[in-house]
Structures are given as C-alpha cells and as structure tokens.
Amino acid sequence: MRVKRKGPPVIAVTMGDPAGVGPEIILKSASALGGRRGGPSMLVIGDLAVMRETARRMRGAPEVRECCVGDVPAALSKRLSVLAVSELSATARRPGRPTVEGARAAFAYIERGARMALRGEVDALVTAPISKEWLNRAGHRFPGHTELLAGLAKVKLYRMMFAGDALRLALVTAHVALREVSCALTVRTVLDTIRLLARHLRECHGVARPRIGVLGLNPHAGEHGLFGDEEPRAIIPAIRRAQREGIDAFGPLAPDTAFVRTRNTFQFDAAVAMYHDQGLIVLKALEFDRAVNVTLGLPFIRTSPDHGTAFDIAGTGVASASSMLAALEYAGRAAAVRAAAQRRAA
C-alpha cells in the first residue's frame, strides 16, 4: 500500500558494490543536491562503515548518520541518512578490491530498496553500480540490475530506457548478440516498447500525447523490403497498431538520419531503437556524462547512472558524479510529476 507523504520525494539509493565508486558518487551527489531548495530527500541503503570511511576521505562530504526503519531521512543540507543493511568486514570494505562478500551485500541492498519501493515507503529507487561478474560469483544469476529488479517486482514486461538532457530512447532488444536481433523483433516486442515508453512519458514527464519516433533496423529503414523484412514484418505493423491505440508513433526512421536535429531539436519526444548500440552510440556521443538508465515497466520509478563500478579508480576521489546526479534529478522530477498527477486524480 502506498504511503501518503507531504513534502519533497524520498529517494532510496542503493550503495552498489562496496568496492566500487558507488559510495563516492553518492556522497558527491548529496553534496551537490544539499544546497537546493525543494530537492528530494535521500536514503542510502548500504553499509554505514563504508559510507563513513568514504566521507572521511573526501573534502566537504556531508555527515553520514544512521537511519532506522521508519525514520524520516535527514535533509540533505545537513547530513546523509544511511539504512545499514550490512556490516562488512574490513576486507570487503576496501575500495577497488571486489569480493563475494561485497557482492552479496550489494544484492541485499537492491532487494531491500525494491521492497521499500514496492510498498510505497519511498517514491523512487536509484541504484549505484554493481558488478555483474561478482554478482554471479556470489550465486545471483542475473545479467544486471534491470532483470534483477523485474524479478523482484514479478514483472515480465519491461524495457531499458536511456535519457540525457536532450535525448530519450528505449530499446526493443538490449543485451543480446547482434545476430539474434532480427529474430527478437516481432510486432509484439516493438509494440510493447512503444506502449511502455508512451506511458512513461505521460506519467513521469507529464507529456499528454508524446511523439515517438521508431527506428528501422536496416539501412534506409529497409528500402521497402529491399534490405530485409524486419520493417514490413514487425516494425511497420507495430507502429500502425500503436497509432490505432492513439499513440503518436511514426516511422520507421532511417537509422542514419533519425537523430539529425533541426534548430537543435529532435523531431520526437523520445525514440525507439531496435538494438543496444543503435541507440546508445548516439546517446553516449551526445550525453556521456549525463546519461541515465531508466527501467520501464516496473511499478515504481527506477533510475541509475549509465556507467559501471570503476574498480580501477575506486577510492582515489576522482570519480565523476555527473551521471549519478542526473539519475537522482531524473528520479526526483519523475516522482514529483507522478505524485502531482495522483493528487489531481484523487
């Protein structure tokens, strides 16, 4: 049952792998957000000792305080609240030295954060980076955060979306080999992606009738079947179905010109790409430091920075918090828009 709250959104932030840059970029983001009025409150789900040790290594880091279940997170301008889910050994707390113990703890942070989001105890979930390799070594066989969270939420239909300051796009297929993409493209998979993206833009961005550009798979969007059958077989029928449902979807767009801007503006509110690199090469070229990963289809808002654990620089103090900060800002805005819509509907 959703908890009714007044005031700024409360965002749960999972600490990620304790040996990675997650603790550092969380503290840096908290410092950046602390001086802003009306910003979200943060509750870090992780290890109290790791967060305090990281704060001691940093200049100007907020004070880290322990927060118990049911407590209201402290205002960011004063201190950062941590819900302690683990008590890691000194070995597992070393930056840049991943361990199975640390990976198991990272899984526990995600599990607790997802449960809190599902119960409505927080307004959004932001996840710091984990290591897929070490998560699997710890016995948790998931390709990554997206699949893990979908499993915890018992959701079968979900998609990866990526957003920057100017560009938003969702992927029909994500972590699959390129040779498998064609078989994975069906009317259903393309249509489901369009639907999920349109719903997210309505609910979390307040766009009443979002305009969605749908890319083709082949050069020149297939040239009317000359270069492949994916467009007439799957993509075009999906677009037509979406249009009949009232979604302002159009395409298929030729992939090499789909992201050309007129007066620095794209021709759509968001795009649907058929496979991972088709969309992400453009997004990361434009907005590498501010790219945010968003999971569509979950019953709660979830974002994350679009980078990994960076074990090689963990503990050095040089990690950029730009993407984590963008993920927190995105989650805060989305939660505020959703809450306002729910108040109007009540």
The pLDDT score that the predictor gives to residue 342 is 77
The set of residues, in sequence order, having a beta carbon less than 8 Å from that of 186 and lying 6+ positions away, is: 234
The pLDDT score that the predictor gives to residue 1 is 39
Rounded to 5°, the CA angle 59-64-70 comes to 155
For 144-194, what is each residue's pLDDT tens digit? 888 899 999 999 999 999 999 889 999 999 988 999 999 999 999 999 999
- Low-confidence residues of the chain: pLDDT under 50: 1-2
Buried b / exposed e along 145-173 (16+ C-beta atoms within 10 A)? bbbbbbebbeeeebbbbbbbeebbbbbbb
Question: What domains appear along the chain, each with residue ranges and CATH number?
Answer: 1-155+298-346 (3.40.718.10), 160-290 (3.40.718.10)
What CA–CA distance (Å, rounded) separates 167 from 287?
8
The pLDDT score that the predictor gives to residue 343 is 77
The pLDDT score that the predictor gives to residue 241 is 98
The pLDDT score that the predictor gives to residue 37 is 67
The pLDDT score that the predictor gives to residue 129 is 96
Element of type H or E holding 152: helix 145-152
